[in-house]
Amino acid sequence: MSQSAEDVRSAYEDSCHARGDVGPIVRDVLDRVADKWSLLVIATLQQGRLRFSQLQAHIPGVSQRMLTRTLRHLERDGLISRTVHAEVPPRVEYELTPMGGTLLAPAIALAEWAIAHHEQIEERRAAYDAR
């Protein structure tokens, strides 16, 4: 870890063939990963396969609509898998795909940064707003 600016630039040029801009790519993925609920869903699915209602219970504040939308988006991107069991009442289970699993490390790193610094950030905000 602790990559340099050059590392990022070279990774960018590798994947973009030395043309265009890395910005859109990073933002595209980031928009999926960093929206209001995705990261929370992914972190929760770290526990293993879970049902829709279990996810909803583990993620306070998420509406049914947003949980559904988030799960669909993550499924579309291949980060989670959706399994419908032909039973009554219906049972639908979600779990991380292998690719979804590879997102955990960077996602957790960012989450830990957030947890470690949010206090300092709030202090800075208060100081800034006090002017």
Partner DNA sequence: CGGGATCCTACTCGATACTG
Partner DNA sequence: CAGTATCGAGTAGGATCCCG
Contact residues toward DNA (CB under 7 A) are 35-36, 51-54, 61-66, 68-69, 71-72, 82, 84, 89-92
CA 98 → CA 78, 101, 104, 107, distances in Å? 9, 5, 10, 15
Q: According to CB under 8 A, which one of 17, 18, 33, 96 is a site residue for a second copy?
A: 33
Specify which residues 50 forms β-bridges with: 94
Query: Which of a second copy, DNA, none interacts with 47 (beta carbon under 5 to 8 A by kind)?
Result: a second copy
First to last CA, the chain: 38
CA gap 131, 127 in Å, rounded: 7
* Residue 54 near residue 66 (C-beta atoms within 8 A): no
63 touches a second copy (CB under 8 A): no
Binding stretches for a second copy (CB under 8 A): 1-3, 5, 7-8, 11-12, 14-15, 21-23, 25-30, 32-34, 36, 39-40, 43, 46-47, 59-61, 75-79, 99, 102-121, 123-125, 127-129
